[in-house]
Structure 1
Amino acid sequence: MEQMAARLPFWSLLTEREQETVRRSAVTRRYEKGALIHDGGSECLGMLLVLSGEIRTYLLSDEGREVTLYRLYPDDLCVLSASCVISQITFDTQICAQRETEVLIIPASIVAALREQNLLVRCFLYELATQRFSDVMWAMQQILFKSLDRRLATFLLAEAERTGSSTIRMTHEQIAQHISSAREAVARMLKSFSEDGLVALRRGEIVLRDVDGLMKLQ
């Protein structure tokens, strides 16, 4: 637990007593691919540190439509799962594991105590919340003001940069979730990209063939 807790970005801001409190109260939990980690209507979970895997935070409409807000990877912190601690967060989100994932959970009561007792932690939490809201606003901008071809091109290029590979190992359904579209629409657009020589389609994979062409679509 010592090594896991030390991966917290604000670990160095804590006193020895506060560090001991976190070590004693934090727990690790594993989630299978597709598992729901947190439902906006459920009890406040606390703060999540991604140890391995990937989590997706999204909004879910009454009609079942999903809007991806952002994705988090190892050593990223999820603050929306602790919305009961930060009063400025006023909307409910869903959080799920995109692949087999392990997280470190700091209970909401501990996060609240740290925020009240440690000014540096309080500033860190507000800065993190601001960063996540910036991610949310970017996602909304993509959906509201960008056509599907531009959103898809932007996503493929960003994913290639993140993974360091020109091969994107994702299904059409997974991509549709990330860019908040329908699987059928994504499949049609990818087919169009393929016909234009921008990508090559394989089972469960998309290979970027013309990066410059995709960049022009952004």
Structure 2
Amino acid sequence: MIADPQQIDRIIDCFGFLRRKDPTFKRHFFQAASVVHLNKPQSICHEGMSCTHLALLISGTARVYKLGENGREITLYRIGRGESCILTASCIISNTPFPAIAVCEEALEAVLIPTAEAQNWMSQFPAWQEYLFGLISERLAEIITVVEEIAFRRVDHRLAAYLLKRAESNGSRAIKVTHQEIASDLGTSREVISRILKDFESRQMISANRGCIDLLDTRILSDQL
């Protein structure tokens, strides 16, 4: 149960569906909810586990990924403030095991809703139903994009787009990231990423140092797309 008024206000500020005028739903929500804190790189959920709670992030970042038989990772999506995990939501709705791996990427704070309540609210409260279905449809489009890029787009083109997007989101051309982290996000090997980055560097598009990549010429990098 969450009873602290300041904490309740913070949570309402994060999740728009709680701002709707439905005092009954709000009462049920905060009576069932609890708050958890996790630190990097703490595991959240393993593949094959039953989903006992749905986590709604107040702060921090979680990463959801698949691990192949060859040990290679592919990032499906990340979850940030005001978001939740669609795979957990779909597993709760369908009573199926979690099909991926979720880890804490940045120290996070989350609201936990027990599975039983999350299921019951689907038929009781339109605000909750709309939130979950909206979440699933939005994230599903992201996963389809990931699959399409892996299947049909060259790795060097994807890497150029990845670097430009990271620079834009960070507001800086200096990107703090390792070759392995990029490989995991793009679903390829570290060796492939290192080879392409070396080529980019030889063409003076980037400058690569340990744990950091500086974008020197975004125009030429954009031509790779």
Shared topology, TM-score over 0.5?
yes
Letter paired with 2:11? A
Identity %: 29
Relative to the length of structure 1, the TM-score reads 0.90
Q: How does 1:1-218 map to 2 (within 5 A)?
A: 1-6=7-12, 7-13=14-20, 15-87=22-94, 92-218=99-225
Structure 1 runs of 4+ off > 6 angstroms?
A: 88-91
Unaligned runs of 5+ in 1: none
Higher CA-based Rg:
2
State the Cα distance separating 1:23 from its structure 2 match.
Answer: 1.4
Deviations 1:121-177 (A, max 9, x none): 213321210111101001001111111111111111111111211111111111111
Relative to the length of structure 2, the TM-score reads 0.88
Letter paired with 2:32? S
Deviations 1:54-74 (A, max 9, x none): 111112233433221111222
Relative distance call for 1:91 and 1:48 in structure 2 (3 A) is closer
SS at match of 1:53: strand
Q: Is the 8 A contact 2:87 2:98 kept in 1?
A: no
Relative distance call for 1:2 and 1:120 in structure 2 (3 A) is closer
Letter paired with 1:79? I
Q: Is the 8 A contact 2:37 2:108 kept in 1?
A: yes
TM-align CA RMSD: 2.1
Letter paired with 1:141? E
Relative distance call for 1:88 and 1:164 in structure 2 (3 A) is farther
Unaligned runs of 5+ in 2: 1-6
Q: Is the 8 A contact 1:38 1:81 kept in 2?
A: no
Separation in structure 2 between the aligned mates of residue 114 and residue 124 of structure 1, nearest angstrom: 11
Relative distance call for 1:45 and 1:183 in structure 2 (3 A) is farther
Number of aligned residues: 218
